[in-house]
Amino acid sequence: MTTRRRLLCYCQSLMGLGHLARTATLLESLSQLFDITLLLGGPAPSDVYLPDGITIIQLPAIEEKPPGTVQDSLDIRSPDVILHRRQRLAAHTATTTAPDVVLIELFPFGRKKFTPEILGLIKAARVAGRNPIVLSSVRDILVRGRSNQQAHDDRARDVLMKHFDGVLVHVDQQFARLAETFKPRHPVSIPVYHTGFVVRNRSTRKRRVGEAQQLVVSSGGGRYGEPLLRSALRAYQGMDNAPRLKLIAGPMLPAESFGQLLKASQNTDGVHVVRSVPDLPAELAVAVGSVSQAGYNTTMEVLVSGVPALLVPFVSPTDDEQSRRARRLADLGLIRVLEAPYDDAQLRWQMQEICRFRPARVNLDMDGAANSAKLIDDLVGSREPKRRISV
């Protein structure tokens, strides 16, 4: 009997669900080819599907509180104590797993605070003796705008060159390339693979135009979605002859905010407010339009559904990733975009117009999960990258 190859994946979620959701989709494809152990650095919400058959090792939960600092999610242990425990568990898991592949989500492009545990697990995996291929997995567009951006990029490049064998960038390279948002002073000479966009079960998502009955407003995980949800509700209250409105708050919207949203909607006919739904694409399949932020996973689901969509990107002084994504998609005629600052009247007009919008045909590679699985399988089989791309 042939022993299946082993893959160890590390994923740390801090502020949202996007990184974990994308990783789960990758692991679903990879589970057909590898025995998988997932080192999970945050809780696994029921809203994120994790494929059957993988071994999940839960690292002690940690979060940013306040932003920029890490803290025990239970507020009972010091950051130093919990980080040390995590580091030991990560290295132990790598040693006992002895993987053929180590797949690290986001690092070293982010997650700098977790450098010791990530480099420790990579070292332990290499010492375990199976000559693992070590890969970084990142989304289409990286965050830029740090005050020390050049130093950050240079440091990340040095870590890549010393500890990694390649980078998987989950984007169609005609849409974006790593070099556009990662600019170290010296080039990266390890392979960079643009895999296509990662979307779960894209082949099963068929739009049912004749059943379209609702306008869906969603905010991904919901941590930053309250302003959009509240504005959309107020905008809807001023619309005439509007379809039903479904507000999907997201599991990370604070409980108090969710309660206030429910209360504000009680006297408005046609409004349904829910915390989450089991299958967002199923909701979009029967929607006349979609209004959402422009996070990676929600945007991909909007695109494959074919629903007329308005993206309202979340932005901060140090993060314009969602705006970059939304503007590029708008330029392709795939969505409409409304950027901050906006008011209720502007959003109301866009919500009325979206129901008449006809998106262009998506001509982007959306098979990133399957492409990534085949690529990783090929790399392990050959033990050498088949093509090199310097960024």
Give 42-61 pLDDT, tens digit per residue.
766 666 778 889 999 999 88
pLDDT in tens, 84-125: 999 999 999 999 999 999 999 999 999 999 999 999 999 999
Residue of 158, 169, 210, 214 lying closest to 389 (CA atoms): 169
Segment 251-274 mean pLDDT: 94
pLDDT surpassing 50 at residue 389: no
pLDDT surpassing 70 at residue 208: no
pLDDT surpassing 60 at residue 74: no
DSSP 319: B
d(CA 325, CA 390) in angstroms, rounded, equals 23
How many helices and strands in the chain, by DSSP H and E? 12, 15
Q: What is the DSSP string of 365-390?
A: ---HHHHHHHHHHHHHHHSS-S----
Give the residue, 123 or 204, on which the prediction is more confident.
Answer: 123
**Cα atoms in the Cβ-side hemisphere of radius 13 Å centred on 245:** 30
Note the residue count of the chain. 391
